Amino acid sequence: MSTARRAAVLGSPIAHSLSPVLHRAAYAELGLAHWSYDRFEVDEAALPGFVEGVDGSWAGLSLTMPLKRAILPLLDEISATAASVEAVNTVVLDEDGRRFGDNTDIPGMIAALRERGVEKVDSAAVLGAGATASSALAALAVICTGPVTAYVRSPQRGAEMRAWGERLAVDVRIADWADAARALQAPLVVATTPAGATDALAGAVPEAPGALFDVLYEPWPTALAAAWTARQGSVVGGLDLLVHQAVLQVEHMTGCVAAPLAAMRHAGERALAAR
């Protein structure tokens, strides 16, 4: 492909994003020498103007917080996956200027878990109830055959998680954050909380833990992930999720059948090690 094409990740704050590292590694491996991928500091107020200024040289956009829902009214069409959680992290731009929104976080979560051997579980626990938790529930709708217990800090958050469960056909049960240590007994624990929020739980990891999916990638390992590994439990990290969702983004934006997962992961690991 000799035609110059552009893509970028938008968000606020955005300086920490590893997306440029991953996408550029993919372009290099795929021989897309004329493709570029950048990052732009864009908040909700600036998003409409940025999107309107995108011309025909653009292939796509990656979106991080706080733009995953703000982008919705600016799109021509969204996938069923994105509609299920009302969140878009990927915009593909066609030659006619139409904007198609998708969510690669959800299949990225499923792929990251499957890579570590987690195909099906009969129950699960989710720590937290923020934006990432809804995507986690959508992924659990595919791989969890039984109830999902969400550990939350407020009744409002609990109501939100119940509503997402009803929408996604997941049997969501609510528990208080004060009892979060009980979550660690589940065959699959998904931690969707900010850095430091689960550190106090590290001492409660059981002798033979199941699988932990901690969506953070910096700092890594988290105290909980380190304790889990020490107990010989299976751990899926935020970099695993970031790479798998980026693989799908690259495939959508470039039209390539298979993005180079190994090269992208290696680039991400190197970038994190250098920080």
- Residue 178's identity, in one-letter code, is A
Residue 150, class by beta-carbon neighbours within 10 Å (0-12 exposed, 13-18 middle, 19+ buried)?
buried
Q: Is 112 exposed, middle or buried (0-12, 13-18, 19+ CB in 10 A)?
A: buried
Helix (H) or strand (E) holding 127: strand 124-127
Question: How far apart are the C-alpha atoms of 161 and 167, rounded to whole Å?
Answer: 10
Q: Which H or E element spans position 270?
A: helix 261-274
In the numeric block, the tokens 């590994």 are attached to: 229
The residue written with tokens 């939350």 in the block is: 152
Query: Do the beta carbons of residue 248 and residue 2 sit within 8 Å?
Result: no
3-state DSSP of 161-185: HHHHHHHHCCCEEEEEHHHHHHHHH
Q: Which of 23, 68, 157, 252 is catalytic?
A: 68
Examine the residue annotation and report whether 68 is marked as an active-site residue of this protein.
Answer: yes
- H/E stretch holding 29: helix 19-30
Q: Which residues are catalytic?
A: 68
